[in-house]
Copies of this chain bind each other. A is one copy, B any other.
Amino acid sequence: MSTREDGRADDELRPITITRNWLDHPAGSVLIEFGRTRVLCAASASEGVPRWRKGSGLGWVTAEYAMLPASTNTRSDRESVKGRIGGRTHEISRLIGRSLRAVIDYKALGENTIQIDCDVLQADGGTRTAAITGAYVALADACAKLGVPQALTGSVAAVSVGIIDGVPRLDLPYVEDVRAETDMNVVMTGAGAFVEVQGTAEGAPFDRAELDALLSLAEKGCADLTRLQLAARA
């Protein structure tokens, strides 16, 4: 019997919705929902690459993450108004970029750039994992549209796991996230290999057994997400 507020089993994802082509302009776009978390992922393609990569014959994929001011519980200030991007934003943008680049064959992409934008419309925990999971689908659609589906060497999905009251749980909403003693974000390929593992002791440090349990739970969650991505792209 579940003890989670939303009635889920400890190893169960929230309801996931993946809506493709939510926007008209970018080559690929996805509105992804992890429960009440809602992220708009766009993949814009353009010819050419950044200066440091010109003439290499290789493409480039980069990502930017941001939250709309009214996406959070209490409104947060706009980073454009503050005139500087915060550390958390930087960190997540970099994580998304690295995660997607793990399944890109730059040579097959050719000297093209795909710019990923992940804008959080509503936040309820797990925005970065939803962003990665949705961005992959947008990226795949963009590669298809560009005529280079082979530039993708695999798929990626991401999920959060954490220990609440001593119990490992999958895909934490905000109310669980703030209570988690330990919090981990895991990015995996569709083939079941790890791309990123980021675990943080929010409360007490964690031992190796807890770490192992969290990793196993994440493996299960990413596998589920991979199936949902496949279904959405069918």
CB within 8 Å for A211 and B197 given contacts A83-B84, A91-B94, A117-B68: yes
CB of A58, distance to nearest CB on chain B (Å): 15
- Oligomer copy total: 6
What total of chain A residues lie within 8 Å of the partner, measured CB to CB? 66
Contact B117 A69 (CB under 8 A): yes
Binding site secondary structure of chain A: mixed
Contact A64 B71 (CB under 8 A): no
Q: List CB contacts (< 8 Å) of A146-203 with chain B.
A: 184, 188-189, 191-201
Alpha-carbon separation in the docked complex, A82 to B82 (Å): 12
26 residue pairs A–B, Cβ–Cβ below 8 Å: A23-B121, A24-B122, A25-B70, A25-B75, A40-B121, A42-B70, A46-B74, A64-B78, A66-B78, A68-B119, A69-B117, A75-B115, A75-B117, A80-B82, A84-B84, A87-B93, A91-B91, A91-B94, A188-B205, A193-B206, A193-B207, A195-B201, A198-B198, A198-B199, A208-B215, A208-B219
